[in-house]
């Protein structure tokens, strides 16, 4: 099968969150199963190509792409996903993809006026590049709102090209909280037919053009990244206004759990941690704990558990209930290592906690890939109290690194973390973490307290740690399910 995988992020080139990890990993798994995958992302100024060979794709040449009435010269560059022969193509248009934030740092996403135009150009450029390469994908897998218009453009603006007729489309939701809703003026900027915009049309929501709705309505099949999140977003509690659209498309809607890239995330081979270890050499994990505490300037106490968090500091990730329970949490005999950045109110909370408890909590603000690995390897527990979590990767990294996750039972967290049942008399010793259901400060605190109590029972703790470490989250199974979904899309398209 020929598969075009279109995304706004790809690890290790450009990553903000889980979407980057998935774009860097799923195509490699599909490739290993014998399929030809080409990945497309924008060529952001943020990408550092130092360790990657980059070639100009001369056969595509200069593509004039029109957005908002102006024509922009767009080129294509090619490299490989590291450790594979999967082609990754970079759509180059400096006007749109060389962007900085207000502090002068290069960024992927912006809050600039033309954020919509940036991804209109990207989608059109991918279609035109495919035309010029004369490479016929059986399926184009679009991801998240940034690529939501592509299936519509393919079926409407580019429908004159019969070459593209048999190409099926899939649209993957990685987070329904970000839908790409823009003013109606986008219709003109993107040159989408005006007739397609009317109340409740396949691209309209609350008077705006919604990229994600277009992706969901114009693709042959759609999916999201865990079975529980798939069920949740068909309800008004989680669907963010798109629950009706998903229910309408329920027969073509799949929930496929993400895998993890075990070449990058594996405690036995991880090059970013000081000491490699496995289920039979957990002493190595305790060495990493010392390194972690040392690097964060925290003292090392032998019997105090360390809880890690790595997260965008936004409401979705549960920081409001964390803030509410913080003074109870700080009464527990625990050290905290936090990595992330985001909203000021949460960053300020951690700044003041650090001042109040300098030997108990340390925070690194910003992105730090190496520290993320060290936190997974060196912490005893990992907290993810998310309000919602489409799949979540860190709880899976935690499980295989022997770091016991404490999570809210939602989305992919519910699909991967099995609550340890300390009251069970039936002898179920298969739990691999701690979870709570109510989105409340009290429930969060109680789960952390349960985990801390379990930590002091050495045999119980080792059992929970090992239950996590034997998990298999490799991409192969999920890639097989993606292939089945692609096949059904292709069958639909070709009748
Ligand atoms: P989301 O995509 O909603 O942010 P996921 O759990 O699906 O959440 O994926 C987050 C990914 O981003 C993980 O690989 C995580 O380790 C990484 N990550 C998040 N914040 C940071 C950070 N500050 N530094 C390094 N990696 C981070």
Q: Among residues 451, 385, 382, 462, which one has the least CA distance to residue 422?
A: 451
Q: Give the N- to C-terminal CA distance of the chain in Å, as an integer.
A: 17
Q: What is the pTM of this model?
A: 0.94
pLDDT at 405: 98
Q: Output the DSSP codes for 377-426.
A: HH-SEEEE--S--SS-SHHHHHHHTT-EEEEES-HHHHHH--B--TT-SS
Instruction: Give the distance (Å) from ligand 1 centre to CA of residue 220.
Output: 30
Is the separation of the CB atoms in 224 and 255 below 8 Å? yes
Instruction: Give the distance (Å) from ligand 1 centre to CA of residue 181.
Output: 24
Is the separation of the CB atoms in 112 and 101 below 8 Å? no
Which atom of ligand 1 has the smallest separation from the CA of 16?
A: 12
User: How distant, in Å, are the alpha carbons of 16, 386, 468 from that of 410?
Assistant: 22, 8, 18
Average pLDDT of the chain, as a whole number = 97
pLDDT at 414: 98
Q: What tokens does 426 get? A: 């039936």
H helix runs in 260-343, sequence order: 283-295, 319-329
User: How distant, in Å, are the alpha carbons of 144, 224, 269 from that of 11?
Assistant: 16, 19, 18
Q: Which residue has the higher pLDDT, 423 or 141?
A: 141
Which residue minimizes the CA distance to atom 17 of ligand 1?
Answer: 17
pLDDT-above-90 percentage for the chain? 96
Q: What gap in Å lies between CA 163 and CA 25, rounded to an integer?
A: 29
Instruction: Give the distance (Å) from ligand 1 centre to CA of residue 19.
Output: 9
- What is the CB < 6 Å shell around ligand 1? 17-18, 21, 310-312, 339-340, 367-369, 372, 391-394
- Between vectors from CA 470 to CA 474 and to CA 431, what angle results, nearest 5°? 115
Instruction: Give the distance (Å) from ligand 1 centre to CA of residue 312.
Output: 7
Reported confidence tier of residue 495, pLDDT bands at 50, 70, 90: confident
- Between vectors from CA 383 to CA 380 and to CA 385, what angle results, nearest 5°? 165
Which atom of ligand 1 has the smallest separation from the CA of 175?
A: 3
Element (H, E) at 133: helix 115-133
Q: What tokens does 406 get? A: 């404490």
Q: Please state the φ and ψ torsions of residue 323, each to the nearest 5 degrees.
A: -60, -40
Q: What tokens does 20 get? A: 């980057």
**Tokens 């109590």 sit at which residue?**
453
Q: Among residues 414, 475, 477, which one has the least CA distance to residue 11?
A: 475
What does DSSP assign to residue 77?
Answer: E
279-337 confidence digits (pLDDT tens): 999 999 999 999 999 999 999 998 999 999 999 999 999 999 999 999 999 999 999 99
pLDDT at residue 64 greater than cutoff 90: yes
| CB burial readout 62-93, b (16+ within 10 A) else e | ebebebbeeebebbbbebebbebebbbbbbbb
Q: Which of 263, 372, 375 to mutate to test the pocket of ligand 1 (most atoms within 8 A of CB)?
A: 372
pLDDT at residue 347 greater than cutoff 90: yes
Instruction: Give the distance (Å) from ligand 1 centre to CA of residue 365.
Output: 13
Strand order in the sheet with 204-205: 181-182, 208-210, 204-205
Instruction: Give the distance (Å) from ligand 1 centre to CA of residue 65.
Output: 33
Q: What gap in Å lies between CA 146 and CA 125, rounded to an integer?
A: 13
pLDDT at residue 233 greater than cutoff 90: yes
Q: Among residues 304, 306, 348, which one has the least CA distance to residue 323?
A: 348
pLDDT at residue 423 greater than cutoff 90: no
Task: Return residue ranges of the chain for CATH 3.40.50.2000.
Answer: 2-259+475-494, 283-469
Lowest pLDDT segment from 146-150, 418-422, 448-452: 418-422
Q: Beta-carbon neighbour count of residue 243 at 10 Å? A: 17
Q: Which of 394, 401, 415 to mutate to test the pocket of ligand 1 (most atoms within 8 A of CB)?
A: 394
Q: What gap in Å lies between CA 230 and CA 359, rounded to an integer?
A: 42
pLDDT at residue 464 greater than cutoff 90: yes
341 - beta bridge partners? 312
Q: Among residues 136, 93, 139, 84, which one has the least CA distance to residue 117?
A: 93
Mean per-residue pLDDT for 228-248? 98
Which residue minimizes the CA distance to atom 4 of ligand 1?
Answer: 17
Mean per-residue pLDDT for 50-75? 97
154-185 confidence digits (pLDDT tens): 999 999 999 999 999 999 999 999 999 999 99
Instruction: Give the distance (Å) from ligand 1 centre to CA of residue 16.
Output: 7
Mean per-residue pLDDT for 256-264? 93
Which atom of ligand 1 has the smallest separation from the CA of 11?
A: 14
**Tokens 């809607």 sit at which residue?**
253
Reported confidence tier of residue 395, pLDDT bands at 50, 70, 90: very high
pLDDT at 422: 82
Please state which of the four CATH numbers 3.40.50.2000, 3.40.50.300, 2.90.10.10, 3.90.1150.10 is assigned to the domain occupying 283-469.
3.40.50.2000
pLDDT at 302: 81
Q: Tell me which fold the domain 2-259+475-494 belongs to.
A: Rossmann fold (3.40.50)
Report the sign of the C-alpha dihedral through residues 493, 86, 88, 29, in that order. Answer: positive
pLDDT at 253: 98
Reported confidence tier of residue 426, pLDDT bands at 50, 70, 90: low
Half-sphere exposure of 172 (CA within 13 A, CB side): 27
pLDDT at residue 425 greater than cutoff 80: no
Mean per-residue pLDDT for 83-98? 97
pLDDT at 321: 97
Q: Which of 8, 17, 261, 371 to mutate to test the pocket of ligand 1 (most atoms within 8 A of CB)?
A: 17
Which atom of ligand 1 has the smallest separation from the CA of 341?
A: 23
Three-state SS at 353: helix
Is the separation of the CB atoms in 230 and 257 below 8 Å? no
pLDDT at 418: 97
pLDDT at residue 428 greater than cutoff 90: no
Mean per-residue pLDDT for 51-56? 95
Instruction: Give the distance (Å) from ligand 1 centre to CA of residue 407.
Output: 15
2-24 confidence digits (pLDDT tens): 999 999 999 999 999 899 999 99
pLDDT at 355: 97
20-37 confidence digits (pLDDT tens): 999 999 999 999 999 999
Which residue minimizes the CA distance to atom 26 of ligand 1?
Answer: 369
Q: Which of 14, 226, 311 to mutate to test the pocket of ligand 1 (most atoms within 8 A of CB)?
A: 311
Q: Which of 312, 387, 398 to mutate to test the pocket of ligand 1 (most atoms within 8 A of CB)?
A: 312
Which residue minimizes the CA distance to atom 22 of ligand 1?
Answer: 367
Number of residues that make up the chain: 495
Instruction: Give the distance (Å) from ligand 1 centre to CA of residue 390.
Output: 13
pLDDT at residue 236 greater than cutoff 90: yes
């Amino acid at each position: 099968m020929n598969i075009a995988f279109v995304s706004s992020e790809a690890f290790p080139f450009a990553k903000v969150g889980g979407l980057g990890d998935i774009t860097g990993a799923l195509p490699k798994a599909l490739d290993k199963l014998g399929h030809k995958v080409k990945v497309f992302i924008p060529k952001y100024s943020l990408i550092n190509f130092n360790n990657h060979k980059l070639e100009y794709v001369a056969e595509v040449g200069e593509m004039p792409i029109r957005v908002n009435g102006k024509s922009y010269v767009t080129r294509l560059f090619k490299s490989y996903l590291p450790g594979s022969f999967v082609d990754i193509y970079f759509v180059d248009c400096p006007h749109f993809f060389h962007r900085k934030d207000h502090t002068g740092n290069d960024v992927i996403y912006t809050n600039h006026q033309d954020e919509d135009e940036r991804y209109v150009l990207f989608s059109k450029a991918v279609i035109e590049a495919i035309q010029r390469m004369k490479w016929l994908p059986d399926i184009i897998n679009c991801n998240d709102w940034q690529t939501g218009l592509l299936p519509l453009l393919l079926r409407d603006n580019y429908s004159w090209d019969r070459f593209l007729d048999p190409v099926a489309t899939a649209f993957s939701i990685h987070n329904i909280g970000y839908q790409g809703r823009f003013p109606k003026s986008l219709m003109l900027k993107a040159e989408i037919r005006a007739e397609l915009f009317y109340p409740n049309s396949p691209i309209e929501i609350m008077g705006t053009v919604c990229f994600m709705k277009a992706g969901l309505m114009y693709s042959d099949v759609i999916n999201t990244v865990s079975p529980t999140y798939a069920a949740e977003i068909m309800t008004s509690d989680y669907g963010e206004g798109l629950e009706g659209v998903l229910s309408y498309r329920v027969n073509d809607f799949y929930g496929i759990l993400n895998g993890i890239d075990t070449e990058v995330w594996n405690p036995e081979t991880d090059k970013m941690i000081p000491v490699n270890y496995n289920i039979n050499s957990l002493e190595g994990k305790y060495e990493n704990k010392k390194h972690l505490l040392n690097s964060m300037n925290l003292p090392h106490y032998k019997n105090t558990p360390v809880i890690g968090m790595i997260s965008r500091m936004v409401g979705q990730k549960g920081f409001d209930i964390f803030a509410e329970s913080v003074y109870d949490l700080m009464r527990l005999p625990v050290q905290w290592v936090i990595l992330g950045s985001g909203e000021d109110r949460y960053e300020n909370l951690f700044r003041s906690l650090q001042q109040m408890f300098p030997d108990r909590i340390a925070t690194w603000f910003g992105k730090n890939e190496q520290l993320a690995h060290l936190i997974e390897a060196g912490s005893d527990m990992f907290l993810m109290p998310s309000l919602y979590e489409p799949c979540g990767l860190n709880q899976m990294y935690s499980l295989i690194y022997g770091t016991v996750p404490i999570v809210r039972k939602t989305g992919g967290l519910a699909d991967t973390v099995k609550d340890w049942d300390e009251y069970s008399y039936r002898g179920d010793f298969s739990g691999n973490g701690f979870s709570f259901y109510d989105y409340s400060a009290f429930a969060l605190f109680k789960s952390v307290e349960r985990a801390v109590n379990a930590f002091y029972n050495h045999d119980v703790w080792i059992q929970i740690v090992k239950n996590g470490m034997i998990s298999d989250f490799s991409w192969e199974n999920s890639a097989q399910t993606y292939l089945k979904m692609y096949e059904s899309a292709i069958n639909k398209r070709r009748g």
